Amino acid sequence: MMAKLGIESQVRPNFSIDCEDDKCVVERGCDIVFVSNSHKCTMDLVWSHLKVEYNLGGAHYEVKRCRKGCILYD
């Protein structure tokens, strides 16, 4: 997806385990690190494509020295 958008980045798949009330769920995810500083605050652009391509309902993001939070599917 990042290549299709022309955004230099590193994408690493991961698994997170979220436990609540003695019930644990494994969530698949990925870490995306933007290589170019020109894209460091373009999460809105990236998210609009990722949520459609991968049918995502939400995401957590952090742009160091810029902003962080949650994005929810509208």
pTM score, whole prediction: 0.64
- Residue 34, pLDDT score: 78
Average pLDDT for residues 25-41, to the nearest whole number?
75
> pLDDT band for position 65 (50/70/90)?
low
Write out the residue range of the structural domain in which residue 6 sits: 2-72
The predicted-structure confidence for 9-19, as pLDDT tens digits, reads as follows 888 899 999 89
Question: In the 8-state DSSP scheme, what is residue 7?
Answer: -
Question: In a 10 Å sphere around its CB, with 0-12 CB exposed, 13-18 middle and 19+ buried, how is residue 43 labelled?
Answer: buried
Q: How far apart are CA 6 and CA 17, in angstroms?
A: 31
CB 44 within 8 Å of CB 50 = no
Look at the chain and report how many structural domains it folds into.
1
Average pLDDT for residues 42-51, to the nearest whole number?
80
- Residue 40, pLDDT score: 46
